[in-house]
Structure 1
């Protein structure tokens, strides 16, 4: 299709439907855009699948396909059919992304059919999958506990203590092995998460994490598998236990103190907090890759460590990791009524899909699309200036955004305080911060560690 024809698509009669892709374009979108996020695991990642996606740079292929669609159809949304009676609209323009996020939850509800099928396995009463009326009760509770508008949570001292103790414990592993790998990092991360969310007594409660992860694995398959109600019941019972304990400094303690109206069900909100923290683990480990490839930024970050817990450079690095490799590649909404677009209408009940990698890595519109550019997040910008949505946006923005970023930046600060990390590459090329890949698996990353002396210069392990 010519560019003039594409522009005509953008100016169809408002009474006509948004264009539906033909059979060939359907196949291309399913194989190049949707397949990778689904196969990797939309709710919990499958490490082998992520490794394959990295090998074939699958997300970069998805961005290229989205660029092709925009060139062919114009900047208005396009529709495809995922199964009989179900249409999905793909957004191709940042302005439409802002519209959908800013007009959440009505007419663009976050409780889409697909999301309900996935999240109902472990949090059927969560705010994300609630009706508009139930959400009005549950969302404010989440925001109050997580203190959404604060960069530094009022429980930051307790969070900082947990982070420093757990990173310090990890150092024993690093000193023994001379390296840091995903398994050791993940073990430490989940101990932090349990202490921050549930309280110090949950540090070694690996069963609650295992139950959540097993339920999330079922969530990957949404409606295709039955719910494991006995496991979900056990998981929820443990959450109630920690809410009753309300250990000082934990989010569970704050949840116990925040007034909750009837139907809020605090124990149904906590799984999403743990879910968000888990997504941040991969982003934080990828941030180690970025910092190890950019000594100048890691050195700048070290100079800010006395400002803890507010570490702006490391916070920017975490955000940049999330921009480059979004942990929520498919942001979903569902129309609660018929909506009008520049190129036609979308019916009530249409699923809206925002493919985040496209808007984060679109090198036709973003100069730094493939570069490590933490300075993007240090500038004073209005959200509408750019289409970057690592935590969604608008009224549907992740309420735990600042708690997660505080944790991620503090973990990075403690790791890099006395260590240098060098990525151990086998067949892979060293990470080039000027041209980063579309997919990066944290599961196979491993870093050789060097300790730093009192003046900050690195020294080899046999000198320590």
Structure 2
């Protein structure tokens, strides 16, 4: 028995269900095994960084995330909402099942509740060895400063918003001449947009770079467990980095890479150009997000019609369209689980938890939790237009606190503009997979199967 298990077991709550839980709890062997079978193992099989299409297709058919949600509800019911200690892949893991514990999760400083547990760190080091998530202490703070500045973290419309929106509109406009649009069409268009935003127009057609980065993402799924492939992955990373650096030398001033080169790096260890790997990875998730948003709007004609005046106005800040994108990410989050690692002893409900303990917030579960989220399984973008909605800890499409995604506003700008450009002149119809217009939505969509029709207005 580990030290953390001994210290936690002494305060295990076995009182009546639903009283909020005192202290923390330890999962029974049966529930621990059930969590591993329905949640932990499926995450690994699906792909920790880059979803495996065939697995996603099978999981979507089975509505697999609903199984994990049922297990988490069982854990919460058994222990009255108290944090529950389980055995994770790499050691003890504390699972947070109540909003008040999630609030503490977001307010803990990153230096004591770090964003790089071993499995996550091993995975992302393949992709971005000098990225923020794989950095610590002052080095992390310096790299985070670069990211915040380049992404204009606090600004609703990026300083390069005019140029970015022009690139989005140009690429999206190519799709409206088609009667039917599928996921591959959107992926190609969004990949071109992302390379233009990050690296400049010269990179728009560079599918070879995309293939290298995709190979690295697929290797990252193994979380460093395939030692023989490490050398090959490092060679691919070196080729991709050299290509990115070549674009950086001639990038226009409005691009993210040019903004990175303009940042201070007094010690020469921040690697501003190296941050581009994460930007490209993150922005590539906008392809599936935009496709899901348009599919949802096609299944909800009233919501689609409600965004048309805003889209037609041509303004940069479109609150309702952004709300649609954000609601899509709530329903189908880019990161379904938030995982941290205690680098110092922390206290949860009065119980000390030692350094080296993983802490998990199952974000998808909480964002679809009917006990705390009204209309949890429905597409209701209007919720994001209510005062204070963005501060609700159980709703975290882009996280909160020190781990908040600095690219949230840029992602919403690009995603909203892409959808708006299509909806300005066309209606989305005949969507596949077929989604209910009133009933509960599935927990997972097979994005590769998305296709819909476009009809002129």
What TM-score do you get using the length of structure 1 for normalisation? 0.90
- Residue 279 (structure 1) aligned with residue 285 (structure 2): yes
What residue in structure 1 maps to residue 176 of structure 2?
Answer: 171
Work out whether residues 372 and 394 of structure 2, in 8 Å CA contact, stay in contact via their aligned partners in 1: no
Q: Counterpart of 2:194? A: 193
**2: CA distance between counterparts of 1:268 and 1:99?**
32
Displacement of 1:121: 0.2
Q: CA deviation at 1:39?
A: 2.1
1:164-217 deviation per Cα after TM superposition (whole angstroms, max 9, x unaligned): 111122234x1xxx2010111111110000001110000001111111110011
Pair 1:210 & 2:211 matched? yes
1:65-87 Cα offsets, whole Å, 9 max, x none, are: 2111101012221111134x611
Contact 1:43 1:216 in 2 (8 A): yes
1:104-155 Cα shifts (integer Å, max 9, x gaps): 3131111221211110001111011111221111111100010000010010
> What corresponds to 2:123 in structure 1?
118
2:337 corresponds to 1:336: no
Q: Which residue of 1 aligns with 2:4?
A: none
Out of 197-206 and 110-119, give the one that drifted further: 110-119
Which of 297, 314, 330 aligns to 2:321? It is: 314
2:306 is aligned with 1:300? yes
Find the counterpart in structure 2 of residue 96 from structure 1. 101
- Please list every run of 5 or more consecutive structure 1 residues that lacks an aligned counterpart in the other structure: 13-17, 453-464
Q: Which piece of structure 1 moves more, 310-319 or 363-372? A: 363-372
For 2:443, which of 432, 438, 446 is the aligned residue? 438
**Deviation of residue 393 (structure 1)?**
1.3
Deviates more, 1:213-222 or 1:359-368: 359-368
Shift of 1:9: 9.3
C-alpha displacement of 1:423: 3.3
Q: Tell me, which stretches of 5 or more residues in structure 2 are unaligned?
A: 1-11
> What does residue 11 of structure 1 align with?
22
Note the alpha carbon deviations across 1:283-342, whole angstroms, 9 max, x for none. Answer: 211101111011111112110121422111110000000000111011111001111112
How many residue pairs end up in the alignment?
440
My pick for the range that moved more, 220-229 or 377-386, is: 377-386
Q: 1:406 to 1:8 in 2, by over 3 A?
A: closer
1:40 aligns with 46
1:396 aligns with 2:403: yes
In 2, the alpha carbon distance for the partners of 1:433 and 1:158 equals 38
1:264 is displaced (CA, Å) by 1.0
User: SS where residue 134 of structure 1 aligns?
Assistant: helix
1:233 matched residue in structure 2: 238
Query: Alignment partner for residue 127 of structure 1, among 132, 147, 153?
Result: 132
Shift of 1:2: 10
SS in structure 2 at match of 1:436: coil
Per the TM alignment, residue 424 of structure 1 is displaced from its structure 2 partner at its CA by: 4.1
Per mean C-alpha deviation after superposition, the further-off stretch among 377-386 and 442-451 is: 377-386
Query: Does structure 2 retain, via aligned residues, the 8 Å contact 1:286–1:442?
Result: yes
1:403 Cα offset (Å): 0.6
Query: Does the 8 A contact of 2:383 with 2:389 survive in 1?
Result: no
Name the SS of the counterpart of 1:87 in structure 2: strand
Q: Deviations over 1:386-434 (max 9, x none)?
A: 4111112111111111111100000000111111122344xx6543344
Q: Are the counterparts in 1 of residues 378 and 439 from structure 2 also a CA contact under 8 Å?
A: yes
Once residues 86 and 258 of structure 1 are traced to their aligned partners in structure 2, the CA distance between those partners, rounded to angstroms, is 39
Distance 1:434 1:424 in 2: 16
Residue 239 (structure 1) shift:
1.5
Q: Is the 8 A contact 1:123 1:272 kept in 2?
A: yes
Aligned to 1:417: 424
Pairwise CA distance, 1:102: 1.9
In structure 2, C-alpha distance between the alignment counterparts of 1:155 and 1:411, rounded to whole Å = 16
Q: Is the 8 A contact 1:293 1:433 kept in 2?
A: no
Q: For residue 65 of structure 1, what is the aligned residue in structure 2?
A: 71
Q: Equivalents in 2 of 1:9, 1:422: separation in Å? A: 45
Alpha-carbon RMSD across the aligned residues, in angstroms, is: 2.0
Offset of residue 383 of structure 1? 4.6
